[in-house]
């Protein structure tokens, strides 16, 4: 009995092996359409694990402090207002743990095309089964980068409660591709509201090298999500997606140490115009993505990509 117990304790203490990426992704399929009368510039997306048949969305810059709830097919969308001042540029949202409050929705006011903002902000709202028309946020966390302003459209919450953000390394002329930087705010920092928090840089993602001969938009990260077990990242670009089989809590080694088919795989997509929203499915069998160009659009599909290997 002691031998069995010792073996069990040893197994529990042994770190989990690194996740390997999907061996083959299937072609994208339509699973629904955005309700463009409500979600008319879709820039963020997440799938609820607590409440079946539920998606969360946010619109891009110019919108107020609010989010949208719809069914998985994008229909029956409704608006939930959040108390607080009008944001600068909410680009992304993410579901994740928020301490004793359970699961929360994080809205990231992180857009900064000219890269001039002194700080960005994250508004945190507890996820509930029935949202009223207007909610009070749990808190708003302000943050700054340690090395000056950055434009960003992609962040996600790790299952351990930390937040990871990937910069959008592009100038206005879209002429100078460089690696994207990855920053972290810890779960402890996300519970603080008394001062501006400072991101910690944890690595880089060399999208120009990874995406190879694709045109420049294929190297620009527009959205991200972290799998429920924390061991995989899906990073959307304007053209395709990148699956990363590395847990961000361990930092990111230089790209030269990554192995294709194990640590990463490029996922070729049915490219949508201005695609800026992505989310893992809760069971991690695939992911969803959609388009931002919905104003006046006749169709605004929600696409599903499933792992087929």
In a domain, 7, yes or no: no
182 DSSP assignment: E
In a domain, 146, yes or no: yes
Say whether pLDDT at 14 is over 70: no
- Give the start-end residues of each E strand in 129-274: 134-135, 139-144, 152-157, 163-167, 180-185, 197-198, 200-205, 221-226, 233-237, 241-244, 264-267
In a domain, 227, yes or no: yes
- To which residue do tokens 């695609």 refer? 275
Range(s) of the domain holding residue 178: 37-306
Looking at residue 11, its pLDDT comes to 36
At 12, the pLDDT band (50, 70, 90 cuts) reads: very low
- The CA-atom distances, in angstroms, between 204 and each of 70, 216, 255 are 34, 17, 8
Distance CA 32, CA 292 (A): 15
62 versus 220: which is more confidently predicted?
A: 220
Is 158 in contact with 118 (CB distance < 8 Å)?
A: no
CATH of the domain at 69: 2.120.10.30
Is 168 in contact with 152 (CB distance < 8 Å)?
A: yes
Say whether pLDDT at 91 is over 90: yes
In a domain, 289, yes or no: yes
- Please count the structural domains in the chain: 1
Say whether pLDDT at 9 is over 90: no
Count CB neighbours of 119 within 10 A: 15
In a domain, 28, yes or no: no
């Amino acid at each position: 009995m002691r031998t069995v117990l010792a073996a069990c304790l040893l197994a529990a203490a042994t770190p989990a092996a690194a996740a390997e990426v999907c061996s083959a992704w299937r072609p994208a399929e339509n699973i629904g359409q955005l309700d463009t009368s409500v979600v008319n510039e879709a820039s963020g997306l997440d799938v609820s694990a607590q409440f079946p048949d539920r998606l969360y969305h946010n619109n891009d810059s110019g919108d107020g402090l609010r989010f949208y709830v719809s069914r998985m097919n994008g229909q029956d969308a409704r608006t939930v207002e959040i108390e607080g001042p009008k944001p600068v540029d909410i680009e992304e949202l993410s579901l994740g743990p928020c301490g004793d409050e359970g699961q929360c929705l994080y809205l990231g006011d992180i857009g900064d095309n000219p890269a001039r903002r002194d700080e960005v902000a994250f508004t945190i709202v507890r996820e509930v089964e029935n949202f009223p028309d207007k909610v009070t946020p749990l808190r708003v966390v302000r943050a700054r980068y340690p090395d000056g302003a950055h434009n960003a459209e992609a962040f996600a919450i790790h299952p351990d409660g930390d937040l990871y953000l990937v910069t959008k390394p592009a100038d206005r002329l879209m002429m100078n591709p460089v690696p994207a930087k990855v920053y972290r705010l810890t779960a402890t920092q996300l519970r603080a509201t008394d001062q501006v928090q400072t991101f910690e840089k944890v690595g880089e993602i060399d999208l120009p090298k990874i995406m190879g001969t694709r045109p420049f938009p294929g190297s620009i990260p527009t959205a991200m999500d972290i799998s429920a077990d924390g061991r995989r990242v899906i990073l959307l670009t304007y053209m395709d997606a990148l699956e990363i089989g590395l847990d961000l809590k361990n930092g990111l080694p230089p790209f030269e140490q990554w192995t294709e088919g194990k640590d990463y795989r490029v996922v070729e997509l049915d490219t949508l115009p201005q695609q800026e929203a992505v989310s893992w499915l809760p069971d991690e069998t695939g992911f969803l993505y959609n388009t931002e160009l919905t104003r006046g659009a006749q169709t605004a599909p929600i696409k599903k990509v499933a792992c087929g290997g």
